[in-house]
Structure 1
Amino acid sequence: MIQGKTYTLEEAKRVLENYCVYQERCHKEVRDKLGKMRMIPDAIDLVIVHLLEHDFLNETRFAKTFVSGKFRVKKWGRNRIKRELKLREISNYNIDLAINEISDFDYLRAFHELADKKIDSTKEKSLLKKKKKVADYLFYRGWESHLIYDKLNSINQ
């Protein structure tokens, strides 16, 4: 049987420092990475404490960076962002803190730009089918139902 590389505690700390410096990481990603490195639970805890103490790992910073990137780059709505952060085991406090950094003005502007672009690009003869395609797209991206339905009600052709 082929054995994977084993790491000393110091080697694992250095590997994970580089892992966290490359991009913001959440606790779950770090724990999973250490598990794949075949570290024992006590060692995993020691490495995570080290990363926290030296500010390589910060859940609040991760949440804010994640929200900013997914909103600005991928045009995700609040629902999708919250769902993805919960999958990463981020606390509700940090989720709310990060979500609240998106201004309502920017949020609505992004929604309308995305919705208008999808409406214009959907080549569907039937108005009902067109609305369904647009709604499915916006729901998948995590936008709120009241915004979606208000937008769909404004489509005339």
Structure 2
Amino acid sequence: MFDVEMIDFLRHRVPLLMGIGLLVPAVAVLGALTRGVTGSIALVRSYRLTSRTGLAAEGRVVSSSEHRTRLPGGFERHMVETIAFTTQSGVAVQGEAAHSDVGMEDRTGQTVTLRYDEQNPTRFVAPTDISDAAEMLWGPRAREVGKQLAIGVIGLLLVVWVARLLLSVL
């Protein structure tokens, strides 16, 4: 029924096919984990700026444009602002806020209070209410980062578990 060649074929090809089959979910899981980790780092940096280390400045919203972020089951629309301001040391800066909670509000031409990183003034946040700046970080973006981290960690554990299970069977 089975000859030596068939057993040799199965012994070498089946693990290869199972490894290739696990590669696709492993790549997806590592992508989610990477997005979760980078999103967490960005949120922590923004939180530091809003709560502890950021210096306050007044800036002017030069322009606003609508951006769409793809989310599972749809997308999220929000305005991305270009803001110009001068640091306390006199350096002129113009750029996009690292994190913002303006939603679809267009504040073009308005003066806004922002917080920037003294070492790197191009990294700044411009919340709608500077007194509640830390609160803006715990909104939809934080929930999305948390989901990515959860999917990544749980998925990685599942891929490793399935791989170990398949290797113990062979």
TM-score (norm 2): 0.23
Q: Which has the higher contact order (CA 8 A, sep 6+)?
A: 2
Flag the structure with higher strand content.
Answer: 2
**The structure with more radius of gyration:** 2
TM-score (norm 1): 0.25
